[in-house]
Amino acid sequence: MRGKKSDPEFLSNFISKCVVLNKTSQEDIVQTAQQQINDIDAKIIEVEKLKVIRSKLLDVVHVFKTDTASHKEEAKILSFFNIQHPKICKHICSLLKKETLKINNLNDSEFSKSDMVFCIKQLQEYKVIAKTGDYLIRGNKFDDYMKFVLCEV
């Protein structure tokens, strides 16, 4: 019993089960108990092997889940590369990075008014900027556009 207290209820139930199986001698009861111990040990060894495989399978899941998330992120920003006139867009975003812009103040730039309007519409379409009244503000995807396309932080 290895210094443990015995469980009289378990012992009594085990002996009763052995008697039902027509194992009434002390040798038969010990042999049945030893067989069950061997079965349990085999199952424990099998579980230990499965734990190693489980760990490796978790690595596989982790690699592919991370990779999928990475692909989703890349797909999100891929549409930004369809935006035309990156110099003009960068100019607009650089100004917006500092402060909210009044649309009329953009006329003072080196770019043509029609190109500026075109870029503002594109940036609005991709939610990089938003328009409220006469002002341009940063859109939901402004930071993503600045970070991934214009390589600014």
141 touches 126 (CB < 8 A): yes
Domain 83-149 is of which CATH architecture? Answer: Orthogonal Bundle (1.10)
Burial of 136 (0-12, 13-18, 19+ CB in 10 A): buried
State both tokens at 115. Answer: 């190109």
- Kindly report, residue by residue over 52-95, the tens digit of the pLDDT: 999 889 888 887 776 555 566 666 677 777 888 888 888 888 88
Q: How many CB atoms lie within 10 A of CB 26?
A: 8
Q: What is the pLDDT of residues 114-140, one digit of tens each?
A: 888 899 999 999 899 999 888 999 999
Query: Is the separation of the CB atoms in 116 and 95 below 8 Å?
Result: no
Spans of all domains in the chain = 8-78, 83-149
Per the structure block, which two tokens stand in for 144? Answer: 């993503």
